[in-house]
Structure 1
Amino acid sequence: MTSRTAALSHVGKIRANNQDSGYAGEHLFVVADGMGGHAGGDVASALAIQAIAHTDRAFESVDEAEQVLSQALLEANQELAETVFERPELTGMGTTVSGLIRVGAKVVVAHIGDSRIYRFRGGELEQITKDHTFVQRLVDSGRITPEEAAVHPRRSVLMRVLGDVDLNPEIDTMVLDTEPGDRWLLCSDGLSGYVTEEKVAEILAGQPDAALAAQSLVDESLDHGAPDNVTVVLVGVDDGPSSATAEPVMVGSAGAPLTFEVDTSRRGVRLPALLLHPLMTSVAEDEHFEPESEEFLRELIAEDRRRRIRRRITWSVGILLIIALIVAAAVAGYRYTQSRYFVGVVDGNVAIFQGVQQGIGPIPLSSVYRETDIALDDLPPFSRQTVEATINADDLQDALSIIERLERAAD
């Protein structure tokens, strides 16, 4: 089997530096999303990719590949910890890593963090990895929905990453089958967080060329404001003869000279982007690690419960205020209608009505104020037609004056 691959990374429209890294080789494919903001997120992802790249070779078995890839992630974790020890200004840096190795008709996956691996098969897109985030914990426990997780204020909290935060992090590994026609997508949350899975599937289905498909995916993220870095590695499986690929490709921070300079700058949001994407163009909050401890989880869950209670109270108060405003407006409107008068017909006689001619559905907004002895048939034709069509009065006194004129006309 041979792969049709592409790797592409973009800094996005807001961030000043690219903290993502990607690698596409002959057997190995990896995406890493650095965390730590200006304090080394780019360094973390680049070091991790470089530390894992040596596993890009043929393996005799999936068990061997799984063990080697998992160990490579742990070695990358150790290298990041040693780098922080030598450069304390990088304390707190870390990175997600999602990688796969092809072994014949199988793929071996190793994953930590919230970058993702998808398999596109038969027109269906399936998420293979699970995010190691606080909001994913809430989704798994049924406390919130995936839609709520996408806008949750704690969505940037990572529970597992590589870095100086955990000397022995837990790595998810799995072995899956692959077949001709499959396409494997590895991406940072700069894509998955802003482009729907339906749109991703549409692009993959409509563009067979890997490079063009990767560019379309990045462009789609940019069209949604791209507040975060976005990296895509696309792997297509074919049934043709095996052949050597081109030289391995590193993109993002891993593809640039490694620098340890601290960069605190951000690019401003351009006005056109802000107008076109007022929600998406807000600066993505820097991801950060929190220990995967029961005490911390309880604190976050308690905070989330308080947040939901506050939100319900706010919504309840808001709804009550809206209802009160509607009732007040209705009362004021009704009082206004009852200050108006008009002359019309009731039971064949001329009458003064209080209110207005219009109603609200079947509910009338007028009532008979005074019925006179003036018969409609006693009026001249023109006056009769005018009364039948109703005559508006400025006030009650004006209505009484109209009655007097009609009495004289009837005589």
Structure 2
Amino acid sequence: MATSGKSAAVSHVGKIRANNQDSGYAGSHLFVVADGMGGHAGGDVASAITVNRVIDIDKQFSSGSEAEFAFHASLTAANAMLAETVFDHPELTGMGTTVSGMLLVDGQAAIAHIGDSRIYLLRDGELKQVTSDHTFVQRLVDSGRITEEEAAVHPRRSVLMRVLGDVDATPEIDTSVVPVRDGDRWLLCSDGLSSYVSEDKIAAALMTNPLAQDAAERLVKDSLDQGAPDNVTVVIVDIDSAEGSAHVPPLTVGSASVPLVFEGDTGRKAIRLPTLLLHPLKATKPDDSHFEPESDGYLDELILEDRKRARRRRITWLVVLALIVAAVVAAAVIGYQWTQTRFFVGASGTSVAIYQGVQQDLGPISLSNVYRKTDLGLDQLSDFSRKAVMATISASDLADAERIVEQLVDASN
């Protein structure tokens, strides 16, 4: 296999797991790592579907903003595919995947990230974590309640707050456009590396192995030397404007590199609706034994808050179930009013328009209407952007919808 030597992708099942739920990809412009979750029945499927979907955007874009928009749209589409897969295969309910990726565009990289896989940058001998983990303990660190050292041993360190999956139809995906320069070495990895190998060792491996393939294999070996209880996937990208950073031919590793297999698991417990809503990223409620109090008392407070929330939620569900028949009409009105707080971008005739409401209809009742028709014509858009608009692009609010339209205008110029 001929490669440029400027990028590499390696994945290993680890020493304990029975299957590899990670997926990785190193291509011409796109580099991605995805770490599936949901157990044997779903994690590998989730990461494979996601990586195989985003591979479609492994091409040259005219600007970083266009690449960023395409990356976000592709991950949103992958999220929808995961939901559709769960609908067709209920045994996969609760599956999801993290994603961390970069799309190179002439001196820039469009970054997309959700979950706790990570992207690091080694520049001028200094290793920097570019992405921020979407985990429970990271929120505690960001709020100043615990330290980084405490987070490393926290009993809830594996609880994710955001992933792609069948739980959230509009997941919050972090995207950005950052400059890259010759000599940069970028590392994308699943938490099978970052959770078991220190940043000092990661930096040492990256700095002492000039070839990307050697560095990737060294990092996987370091993880295996630590016991590697989890799958570990590493993608390395060296920036070189003269030789390019592409992996030739493109390389897919992990679960995305083999055909998808859907196997029903008759012994798997069905997930109760309250459990799914209250603990959307875990198949069952975490056992209280995972929340052992420590001397500084912060875990005591967390346990008390968690139990109070659980008690309030149980009472709320009992009340809702008792009143649901009488409240159907009121709920319908409130539901319609809620839809009118949502916005999305779509096509109106031959123009791009901002719609108020949601994309679905309720029988003969339309749940959306044109809020503002823009001067941007569909014929001014690229093929990719036009297809995305025709399929509609969800926005979190009106300001977000306006931002999406501005990006489309910029991309069309």
Q: Which amino acid aligns with 2:258?
A: A
Q: Which amino acid aligns with 2:191?
A: D
Q: Which amino acid aligns with 2:222?
A: E
Tell me the alpha carbon deviations over residues 220-265 of structure 1, each in whole angstroms, 9 at most, x when there is no partner. 0000000000000000011424586412111000011211126899
- Contact 1:8-1:232 within 8 A present in 2 as well: yes
- CA 1:304 to 1:222, structure 2 compared with 1: closer, same or farther past 3 Å? closer
- Contact 1:179-1:237 within 8 A present in 2 as well: yes
- Contact 2:145-2:298 within 8 A present in 1 as well: no
Q: Which amino acid aligns with 1:113?
A: G
- Contact 2:183-2:239 within 8 A present in 1 as well: yes
Q: Which amino acid aligns with 2:18?
A: A
- CA 1:204 to 1:245, structure 2 compared with 1: closer, same or farther past 3 Å? closer
Q: Which amino acid aligns with 1:219?
A: K
Q: Which residue of 2 aligns with 1:199?
A: 201
Q: Which amino acid aligns with 2:150?
A: E
Deviation at 1:67, TM superposition (A): 0.3
Deviation at 1:173, TM superposition (A): 0.5
Q: Which residue of 2 aligns with 1:360?
A: none
- Any idea what SS the aligned residue of 2:113 has? strand
Deviation at 1:10, TM superposition (A): 0.1
How does the TM-score come out when normalised to structure 2?
Answer: 0.64
> Aligned equivalents of 2:216 and 2:246: distance in 1?
21
- Contact 1:23-1:248 within 8 A present in 2 as well: yes
- CA 1:107 to 1:306, structure 2 compared with 1: closer, same or farther past 3 Å? same
- Contact 2:26-2:247 within 8 A present in 1 as well: no
> Aligned equivalents of 1:57 and 1:159: distance in 2?
31
Tell me the alpha carbon deviations over residues 346-377 of structure 1, each in whole angstroms, 9 at most, x when there is no partner. xxxxxxxxxxxxxxxxxxxxxxxxxxxxxxxx
Runs of 5+ unmatched residues, structure 2? 268-274, 301-413
- Contact 2:293-2:299 within 8 A present in 1 as well: no
- Contact 2:98-2:117 within 8 A present in 1 as well: yes
Tell me the alpha carbon deviations over residues 144-163 of structure 1, each in whole angstroms, 9 at most, x when there is no partner. 11111111111111000000
Q: Which amino acid aligns with 2:111?
A: V
Pair 1:308 & 2:310 matched:
no
- Contact 1:39-1:92 within 8 A present in 2 as well: no
Q: Which amino acid aligns with 1:153?
A: P
Q: Which amino acid aligns with 2:168?
A: D
> Aligned equivalents of 2:255 and 2:291: distance in 1?
38
Q: Which residue of 1 aligns with 2:252?
A: 250
Q: Which residue of 2 aligns with 1:5?
A: 7
Q: Which residue of 2 aligns with 1:66?
A: 68
- CA 1:149 to 1:57, structure 2 compared with 1: closer, same or farther past 3 Å? same
- CA 1:48 to 1:224, structure 2 compared with 1: closer, same or farther past 3 Å? same
How does the TM-score come out when normalised to structure 1?
Answer: 0.65
Q: Which residue of 1 aligns with 2:222?
A: 220
> Aligned equivalents of 1:304 and 1:144: distance in 2?
17
Q: Which residue of 1 aligns with 2:136?
A: 134
- Contact 2:188-2:236 within 8 A present in 1 as well: yes
- Contact 2:16-2:228 within 8 A present in 1 as well: yes
Q: Which residue of 2 aligns with 1:183?
A: 185
Deviation at 1:305, TM superposition (A): 9.1
Q: Which amino acid aligns with 2:61?
A: F
> Aligned equivalents of 1:154 and 1:313: distance in 2?
10
> Aligned equivalents of 1:140 and 1:91: distance in 2?
31
Q: Which 4+ runs in 1 deviate beyond 6 A? A: 288-293, 302-306, 310-314
Specify the structure having the higher radius of gyration (Cα): 1
Tell me the alpha carbon deviations over residues 3-53 of structure 1, each in whole angstroms, 9 at most, x when there is no partner. 810000000000000000001001000000000112200000000001110
Q: Which residue of 2 aligns with 1:32?
A: 34
Runs of 5+ unmatched residues, structure 1? 266-287, 294-298, 315-411
- Contact 1:14-1:228 within 8 A present in 2 as well: yes
> Aligned equivalents of 1:243 and 1:140: distance in 2?
34
- Contact 1:9-1:21 within 8 A present in 2 as well: yes
Deviation at 1:62, TM superposition (A): 0.6
- CA 1:107 to 1:47, structure 2 compared with 1: closer, same or farther past 3 Å? same
Tell me the alpha carbon deviations over residues 171-216 of structure 1, each in whole angstroms, 9 at most, x when there is no partner. 1001111111101100000000000000000011100101111000
- CA 1:126 to 1:291, structure 2 compared with 1: closer, same or farther past 3 Å? farther
Pair 1:21 & 2:7 matched:
no
- Contact 1:117-1:186 within 8 A present in 2 as well: yes
> Aligned equivalents of 1:93 and 1:233: distance in 2?
23
- Contact 1:36-1:92 within 8 A present in 2 as well: yes
- CA 1:290 to 1:111, structure 2 compared with 1: closer, same or farther past 3 Å? farther
Residue number among 39, 43, 46 corresponding to 1:44 in the alignment: 46
CA RMSD in angstroms, aligned pairs only: 3.0
- CA 1:244 to 1:152, structure 2 compared with 1: closer, same or farther past 3 Å? closer
Q: Which residue of 1 aligns with 2:105?
A: 103
- Any idea what SS the aligned residue of 2:239 has? strand
Deviation at 1:289, TM superposition (A): 8.8
Deviation at 1:306, TM superposition (A): 7.8
- Contact 1:157-1:290 within 8 A present in 2 as well: no
- Percent identity of equivalent pairs: 61
> Aligned equivalents of 1:229 and 1:115: distance in 2?
12
